[in-house]
Structure 1
Amino acid sequence: MVSDASLACMVVAAVISFGAPVVALVVARRRLHVQFRAVLVGVLVFVVFAGFLEQLVHALAFSAFPGLRFTPVAFVPYAALAAGVFEELGRSCGFMLLLRSGKADHDLPCAIGYGIGHGGIEAMLIVGLSMVSNIALALALNSVGGADALLATVPDASRVLVAQQIDALIGIAPTVYLIAGFERIVSMALHVALSVLVWMAVSGRIGKAWIFGAVLLHALADGGAALYQQGMMLLPVSELWALIATVATALLVIRLYAGHGCHSDGTA
């Protein structure tokens, strides 16, 4: 059986994952007049570069080097840098597309809109849908009275997989779901900050080398998650790592933005 506390925390995490991007977009539309074009490009770039290309490379890498998953000294830098490379180069391509279209709005609204789209769809797909699936499974599990009763209704071909999902669901502490929701807020903030940084680099306001700086900053922020996956760091510590890295990145971006005379109307 899944506890009421776990169910409540799943619901909160799902609401955050789906609601935070919507709230961020509404506020950005009202205050900065963010265009949906930039948001849509952010969504599409995440789906193509992180959802497809990065996963394809992971499949090839893990197939060619089966021990990579179980070698922390190799897995941690690989996983962190892969996320940084694919998402930041994808971000650069997205901004180049917007610039070449000739229909991009002013620099700050465009960058923020892109970041909301990129980080928002990530939150919805990675945590939001996962929480919806977990809630459905938990309700089904509780309604029939336990794992054995539920597994009896599952086809033989799927029974092992469902049993593993049930074991994972029951074994996770309620606070883990809340942390997942908090993580999405931090991740969205990181994506917005990195979007402003890459937009400035692509548009020529700062040096193009900052695109690679964004790759490294992204990798640094993801380092804690990679260490957690290898069992080398506790989950709360990895989330604190991500928060510190995000705040540091945001402060750096604000300083660069102000230092290069950039304004919200796109003038310098």
Structure 2
Amino acid sequence: MVPVSSIVGMALTSVICMLVPVGGFVWIATRRDAGVRRYPKVGRAFAAGMLAFVASQLLTRIPLMAWLGSQDLSWAQWLVSAPVASFTAGLFEETGRLLVMLWLLRRFHRWIDGVSFGLGHGGIEAVLLVGLNQLVTLGLAILVNIDPGKLDQMPAGVREPLVTALTMRPPLDYYLAGVERIGAIGLHIGLSVLILWGIVAGRRALAWVSAVLIHGVSNLVVVLLATSGLPGASVLAEVALLALVAGFWTLFVLRSRPWFPTMPLR
């Protein structure tokens, strides 16, 4: 039997991945002042953020990393190692973020456009990399508990490891996956605001380098803590991520709002 607490964690993480970015965007898009939309055409930034993730990760970095991982070469294995991969994620995603903003957000330089862009970027990442997987896992867990006989159609070499993983994995892991997505979405929003600020202020290179470093360091801290072997390492990793994101928002993201135009450019 898969513990009920694990099933609840799977469902909760699925909801976080699907509803947090969509709910955040809907809340922004429906804000009104005296019957007039407060943030007109903010959906463009949301869609652009999704495109930036797909282009920078799904179509480029992820296939490249998969190919490198299959090569029995020392330099290739170095490139896919956790420390280097932490920064290549930042390199690809922040470059994609900058290029897509320059291409599609030429008239949309509001602070809220950066927020919406980050919701789209982090949201599609959450759905494709975590949310869909959690939904499939949830369905299998329910099947194991209600009608395990249906799994007999699977080859034994697939069925037994699957059932073992579902029944033996600590329930906390499923909840932490949801916490990690909240932190990741918050980070993507902050990095999007940073890159957009660089465009507005004419300091694109500074913003891009800063975003790559912040992204890479955040990834590296989480990876090192999660694999440290310390008691509660997984919890420490997610607490560290939330602390880094909270600090980033406090020191820059929230303070930067007055530095942006309040209306789309003509």
TM-score (norm 1): 0.84
- CA distance in 1 between counterparts of 2:123 and 2:178 reads 12
- CA distance in 1 between counterparts of 2:80 and 2:108 reads 41
Which of residues 115, 119, 124 in structure 2 aligns to 1:116? Answer: 119
- CA distance in 1 between counterparts of 2:67 and 2:90 reads 18
Percent identity over paired residues: 27
Contact 2:2–2:145 (Cα < 8 Å) also in 1: yes
What is the one-letter code of the residue matched to 1:141? V
Contact 2:68–2:80 (Cα < 8 Å) also in 1: no
Corresponding position: 1:87 with 2:109: no
| Cα deviation 1:65-90 (Å, max 9, x = unaligned) | 5678988x982321210110111111
Unaligned residue ranges in structure 1 (runs of 5+): none
Match in the other structure for 1:245: 244
Corresponding position: 1:168 with 2:165: yes
What is the one-letter code of the residue matched to 2:14? A
Alignment of structure 1 residues 130-209 onto 2, 5 Å: 130-145=133-148, 149-154=149-154, 156=155, 159-209=156-206
Match in the other structure for 1:54: 61
The 3 A distance-change label for structure 1 pair 235 and 69 is farther
Contact 2:68–2:77 (Cα < 8 Å) also in 1: no
Give the C-alpha shift of residue 125 in structure 1.
Answer: 1.4
Contact 2:13–2:174 (Cα < 8 Å) also in 1: yes
Contact 1:193–1:249 (Cα < 8 Å) also in 2: yes
Give the C-alpha shift of residue 228 in structure 1.
Answer: 5.2
- CA distance in 2 between counterparts of 1:243 and 1:25 reads 21
Match in the other structure for 1:127: 130
Which of residues 194, 202, 222 in structure 2 aligns to 1:225? Answer: 222
Alignment RMSD (CA, Å) = 2.7
The 3 A distance-change label for structure 1 pair 74 and 152 is closer
| Cα deviation 1:140-184 (Å, max 9, x = unaligned) | 111234xxx454221x3xx43443333222222112111111211
Unaligned residue ranges in structure 2 (runs of 5+): 32-37
Q: How many residue pairs end up in the alignment?
A: 256
What is the one-letter code of the residue matched to 1:115? G
Contact 1:62–1:68 (Cα < 8 Å) also in 2: no
Match in the other structure for 1:77: 83
- CA distance in 2 between counterparts of 1:263 and 1:22 reads 25
What is the one-letter code of the residue matched to 1:16? I
Match in the other structure for 2:34: none
The 3 A distance-change label for structure 1 pair 249 and 90 is same
Corresponding position: 1:37 with 2:44: yes
Contact 1:220–1:245 (Cα < 8 Å) also in 2: no
Give the C-alpha shift of residue 9 in structure 1.
Answer: 1.6
The 3 A distance-change label for structure 1 pair 96 and 239 is same
The 3 A distance-change label for structure 1 pair 211 and 252 is farther
- CA distance in 2 between counterparts of 1:76 and 1:49 reads 18
Give the C-alpha shift of residue 256 in structure 1.
Answer: 6.5
Q: Which secondary structure state, in structure 1, belongs to the residue aligned with residue 201 of structure 2? A: coil
Give the C-alpha shift of residue 50 in structure 1.
Answer: 1.4
| Cα deviation 1:216-246 (Å, max 9, x = unaligned) | 1001111133225645561111111211221
- CA distance in 2 between counterparts of 1:205 and 1:252 reads 20
- CA distance in 2 between counterparts of 1:3 and 1:221 reads 32
- CA distance in 2 between counterparts of 1:78 and 1:252 reads 27
